[in-house]
């Protein structure tokens, strides 16, 4: 989490959501069980619990409504302040207009940005999931010092702020960076330059997302029962079969969580694509900020913001479907 | 342990011998790939901070120097950023604890209607893609005249700390055994004494972890602060954005190393608490 993400970053999550997952999950379940048993009720004290909720409603909930109105072309009321600086605004009447939305989506460059963003968060999510599953499952089925060290290394990025990580990877994979220098000396010039490319964004997003994924998968893998693994093994199943047929299906829930959290983190990231990524196609996070800060188009920025929300809804649907079908099976 | 018995058993099977060698080779490949992917870039960063320059494509610096450190430490703009970061962040953490810790206590020790809604809402705000949340905040911050102000920056950074400051201490308060509370009551302690003498001390480690994580989240927050605070409030992480574009790479590398010191130091400090539970399987300390 970077902590933008660390996750978000987490932190970091990007970074910020990152740590909460495995840490918060276990005790809260325990806590809930205790409450049910006791049914304690606190009058004044419980009112305090709503304080953070009120804060989030005021500074998260209301803004989303205002931003939605802005997107639909309502420039009055609280939105008048921001729309005064706005350029190219498309006013709406009645329910509002989708003029700004169609304007953006008819733009070829914007279509490319949306596609690039989807590709980057899908690929990053799948890669992070694959790496996290491989590292943790391997250590579970065939423990060794090397794999333990590997797992430790995968958590190291948690300690590095996302801005620093992005900058470091940008120079590392850049045209005067470590990889291109090494490749050039081997007569393989320009083969390993990833900065300023979408591949570089994926590399960096994987880098900052890996710690959370590994921590979460490790917690999941540790709950795998020895008995089912041993039984399959005794029945003559090979290691790969055990991993793919026995262990992996039991990790379905964790896998979906890892994929979805990574994907949302990547989708909502700005720093990594801003520093590492290309100027075209732009990831939507960067595009939103540019549209607001550089082009003074708050309405269009709001449209991009809601495009990101919509894509997050898509990831949410993957999460819902993925976790629901598990219940059906069992 | 059954994990070790597993390997012991697989070692006795002749067919698994080849598999074992293959897996060792794969392990080695994975190991070096991870070192290259994760560790080498960080070594590269530190080397940049002390390198005079490079004759491309040589990876050996022309010579080592402290000149970049000198430049960074004598740059007034950068020092101002350091000042901003170290003053704003504690304010955010303090405000966050005022808003969240009472809630954490209530969530951890009491059952009340709407509790699940509170927990879920706090969690779900973090499921929103960050940057679009910040974009959505802009119209309101403009209406309240908070764009480009320190209050706006504090609010944006506060949002990223709410989850830590509520969930983690709540689990801390919840994990205090009721027997202890009952014992204190039996010994004649009143409600406040129970809180100050029993609950708070036992929940303190979780509060400390939450405070550290909140501190780092606020300290490292760049995208929202950039959107709301720039150009008036250029905190340390935001400086990185312009350093990357406008300065020699070694200059930014020095600043990057300086900026990571608090994160690395604080996270190492709380690492044991942070990874408690999931850390057991690790042989590495």
A29-45: pLDDT as tens digits: 454 444 443 445 566 77
- Helices B130-143, A298-329: crossing angle, 10 deg rounding: 140
List the structure tokens of A102. 């169609």
Contact A184, A100 (CB under 8 A): no
Mean pLDDT (whole number) for A70-99: 85
- Within chain A, where are the H helices? 17-38, 43-48, 50-56, 62-71, 80-83, 99-105, 108-141, 145-155, 162-172, 178-185, 198-222, 226-234, 239-241, 248-250, 252-267, 271-276, 284-293, 298-329
Residue A75 lies in a domain: no
Residue A189's contacts (CB-CB under 8 Å, 6 or more residues apart) are: A180, A183, B57
How far, in Å, CA of A199 to CA of A205, rounded?
10
List the structure tokens of A36. 């049910």
Does the N-terminal peptide bond of residue B231 adopt cis geometry, omega within 30 degrees of 0?
A: yes
| Whether residues A186 and A285 fall in one domain | yes
Query: Could you tell me the sign of the dihedral formed by the alpha carbons of A266, A267, A268, A273, in that order?
Result: positive
List the structure tokens of A290. 């540019």
- The 8-class DSSP code of residue B180 comes to H
Residue A90 lies in a domain: no
| Whether residues A115 and A250 fall in one domain | yes
| Whether residues A201 and A303 fall in one domain | yes
**Total number of domains in chain A:** 2
Residue A27 lies in a domain: yes
Confidence band, pLDDT 50/70/90 cuts, at residue A7: very low
Name the residue among A81, A20, A16 with its Cα closest to residue B224. A16
Contact B38, A169 (CB under 8 A): no
Contact A274, B241 (CB under 8 A): yes
Secondary structure of residue A77 in the 3-state scheme? helix
| Whether residues A62 and A103 fall in one domain | no
Residue A75's contacts (CB-CB under 8 Å, 6 or more residues apart) are: A83, A86, A89, A91
Chain A positions in Cβ-Cβ contact with residue B175 (cut-off 8 Å): 27, 30-31
pLDDT > 70 in chain B, percent: 89
Residue A81 lies in a domain: no
- The 8-class DSSP code of residue A6 comes to E
Encode B108-136: b = buried (16+ Cβ within 10 Å), e = exposed: bbbbbeebeebbebbbebbbbbbbbbbbb
| Whether residues A173 and A278 fall in one domain | yes
Q: Do A222 and B278 touch (CB under 8 A)?
A: yes
Other CB atoms within 10 Å distance of the CB of residue B267? 18
B238-262: pLDDT as tens digits: 988 888 878 888 888 998 998 888 8
Paired sense of beta strands A15-16 and A5-6, if any: unpaired
Distance (Å) from the C-alpha of residue A42 to the closest C-alpha of chain B?
A: 6
Contact B219, A3 (CB under 8 A): yes
Domain boundary among A45, A66, A87: A66
Query: Could you tell me the sign of the dihedral formed by the alpha carbons of A58, A60, A66, A68, in that order?
Result: negative
| Whether residues A26 and A119 fall in one domain | no
Of residues A20, A172, A219, nearest to B164 (C-beta): A20
Contact A262, A215 (CB under 8 A): no
Give the range among A20-24, A230-234, B215-219 with minimum mean pLDDT: A20-24
CA distances, A119 to each of A43, A116, A310 (Å): 50, 5, 15
Confidence band, pLDDT 50/70/90 cuts, at residue A92: confident
Contact A51, B103 (CB under 8 A): yes
Of residues A50, A81, A226, nearest to B142 (C-beta): A81
ipTM over 0.90: no
Tell me what pLDDT residue A68 has.
92
Contact A9, A208 (CB under 8 A): yes
| Whether residues A46 and A129 fall in one domain | no
Does position B277 have pLDDT exceeding 80, yes or no?
no
Name the residue among A201, A211, A209, A202 with its Cα closest to residue A156. A211
A positions 135-174 inside 8 Å of B (CB): 135, 138-164, 167-172
Confidence band, pLDDT 50/70/90 cuts, at residue A85: confident
Does position B14 have pLDDT exceeding 80, yes or no?
no
pTM for the predicted model, two decimal places: 0.83
Q: What is the mean pLDDT of chain B?
A: 84
Encode B237-262: b = buried (16+ Cβ within 10 Å), e = exposed: bbbbbebbeebebbbbbbbbbbbbeb
Residue A79 β-bridge partners: none
From the candidate CATH numbers 3.90.1150.10, 1.10.3720.10, 1.10.1060.10, 3.10.20.30, the one assigned to the domain spanning B76-284 = 1.10.3720.10
Is the minimum CB–CB distance between A201 and chain B shorter than 8 Å?
A: no
What is the extent of the structural domain holding A120?
Answer: 99-329
A123-179: pLDDT as tens digits: 999 999 999 999 998 888 888 888 888 888 888 898 888 999 999 999 999 988 899
Domain boundary assignment for chain B: 1-65, 76-284
Give the range among A291-300, B27-36, B123-132 with minimum mean pLDDT: B123-132
Of residues A162, A229, A264, nearest to B127 (C-beta): A264
Encode A180-210: b = buried (16+ Cβ within 10 Å), e = exposed: bbebbeeeeeeebbbbbebbbbbbbbbbbbb
How far, in Å, CA of B44 to CA of A20, rounded?
31
A positions 12-71 inside 8 Å of B (CB): 12-17, 19-20, 22-24, 26-28, 30-31, 34-36, 38-42, 45-53, 55-56, 59-60, 62-64, 66-67, 70
Q: Do A82 and B138 touch (CB under 8 A)?
A: yes
Q: CA-based angle A263:A264:A269, to the nearest 5?
A: 100
| Whether residues A104 and A50 fall in one domain | no
Tell me what pLDDT residue A72 has.
92
Place of tokens 């430049």: B71
* End-to-end CA separation in angstroms for chain A: 34
Domain boundary among A47, A66, A85: A66
Other CB atoms within 10 Å distance of the CB of residue B65? 15
Contact B219, B89 (CB under 8 A): yes
Q: Do B100 and A51 touch (CB under 8 A)?
A: yes
| Whether residues A25 and A148 fall in one domain | no
B41-65: pLDDT as tens digits: 999 999 999 988 887 778 888 888 8
Q: What are phi and psi of A15, to 5 degrees?
A: 155, -30
Tell me what pLDDT residue B274 has.
63
Q: Do B57 and A46 touch (CB under 8 A)?
A: no
Q: Is A317 exposed, middle or buried (0-12, 13-18, 19+ CB in 10 A)?
A: exposed
| Whether residues A42 and A184 fall in one domain | no
B67-111: pLDDT as tens digits: 889 888 888 888 899 899 999 999 999 999 999 999 999 998 888
Does position A27 have pLDDT exceeding 60, yes or no?
no
Does position B12 have pLDDT exceeding 70, yes or no?
no
How far, in Å, CA of B230 to CA of B142, rounded?
14
Chain B positions in Cβ-Cβ contact with residue A23 (cut-off 8 Å): 167-168, 171, 274
């Amino acid at each position: 989490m970077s902590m933008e993400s660390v996750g978000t970053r987490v932190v970091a999550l990007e970074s910020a959501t990152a740590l909460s997952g495995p840490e918060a999950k276990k005790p809260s379940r325990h806590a809930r069980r205790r409450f049910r048993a006791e049914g304690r009720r606190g009058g004044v004290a419980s009112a305090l619990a709503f304080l953070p909720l009120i804060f989030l409603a005021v500074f998260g909930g209301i803004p989303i409504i205002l931003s939605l109105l802005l997107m639909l072309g309502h420039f009055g009321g609280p939105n008048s302040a921001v729309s005064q600086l706005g350029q190219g605004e498309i006013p709406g009447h009645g329910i509002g207009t989708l003029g700004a939305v169609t304007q953006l989506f008819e733009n070829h460059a914007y279509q490319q940005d949306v596609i690039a963003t989807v590709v980057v968060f899908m690929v990053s999510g799948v890669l992070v999931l694959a790496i996290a599953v491989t590292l943790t499952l391997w250590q579970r089925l065939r423990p060794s010092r090397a794999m333990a060290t590997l797992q430790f290394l995968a958590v190291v990025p948690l300690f590095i702020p996302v801005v620093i990580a992005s900058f470091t990877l940008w120079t590392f994979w850049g045209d005067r960076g470590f990889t291109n220098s090494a490749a050039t000396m081997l007569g393989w010039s320009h083969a390993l330059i990833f900065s300023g490319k979408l591949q570089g964004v994926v590399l960096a997003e994987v880098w900052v997302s890996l710690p959370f994924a590994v921590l979460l998968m490790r917690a999941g893998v540790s709950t795998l029962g020895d008995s089912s693994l041993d039984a399959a093994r005794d029945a003559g199943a090979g290691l790969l079969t055990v991993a793919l047929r026995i262990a992996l299906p039991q990790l379905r829930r964790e896998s979906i969580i890892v994929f979805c959290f990574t994907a949302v983190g990547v989708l909502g990231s700005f720093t990594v694509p801003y520093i590492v990524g290309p100027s075209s196609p732009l990831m939507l996070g960067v595009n939103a900020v540019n549209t607001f800060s550089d082009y003074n188009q708050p309405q269009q920025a709001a449209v991009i913001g809601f495009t990101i929300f919509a894509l997050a809804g898509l990831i949410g649907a993957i999460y819902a479907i993925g976790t629901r079908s598990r219940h059906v099976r069992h | 342990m059954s994990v070790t018995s597993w390997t012991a058993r697989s070692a006795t099977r002749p067919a698994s011998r080849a598999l074992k060698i293959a897996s060792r080779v794969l392990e080695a490949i994975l190991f070096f790939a991870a070192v290259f992917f994760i560790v080498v870039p960080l070594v590269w960063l530190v080397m940049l901070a002390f390198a005079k320059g490079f004759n491309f494509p040589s990876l050996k610096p022309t010579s080592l120097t402290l000149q970049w450190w000198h430049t960074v430490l004598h740059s007034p703009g950068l020092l101002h950023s350091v000042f901003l970061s170290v003053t704003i962040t504690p304010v955010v953490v303090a405000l966050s604890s005022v808003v969240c810790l009472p809630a954490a206590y209530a969530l951890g020790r009491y059952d009340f209607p709407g509790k699940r809604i509170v927990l879920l809402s706090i969690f779900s705000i973090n499921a929103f893609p960050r940057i679009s949340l910040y974009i959505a905040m802009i119209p309101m911050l403009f209406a309240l005249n908070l764009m480009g102000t320190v209050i706006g920056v504090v609010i944006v950074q506060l949002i990223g700390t709410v989850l830590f400051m509520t969930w983690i201490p709540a689990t801390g308060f919840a994990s205090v055994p009721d027997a202890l509370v009952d014992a204190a009551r039996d010994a004649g302690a009143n409600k406040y004494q129970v809180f100050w003498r029993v609950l708070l001390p036992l929940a303190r480690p979780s509060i400390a972890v939450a405070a550290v994580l909140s501190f780092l989240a606020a300290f490292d927050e760049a995208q929202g602060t950039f959107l709301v605070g720039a150009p008036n409030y250029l905190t340390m992480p935001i400086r990185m954005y312009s350093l990357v574009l406008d300065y020699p790479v070694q200059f930014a590398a020095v600043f990057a190393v300086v900026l990571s010191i608090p994160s690395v130091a604080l996270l190492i400090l709380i690492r044991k608490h942070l990874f408690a539970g999931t850390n057991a399987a690790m042989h590495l300390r």
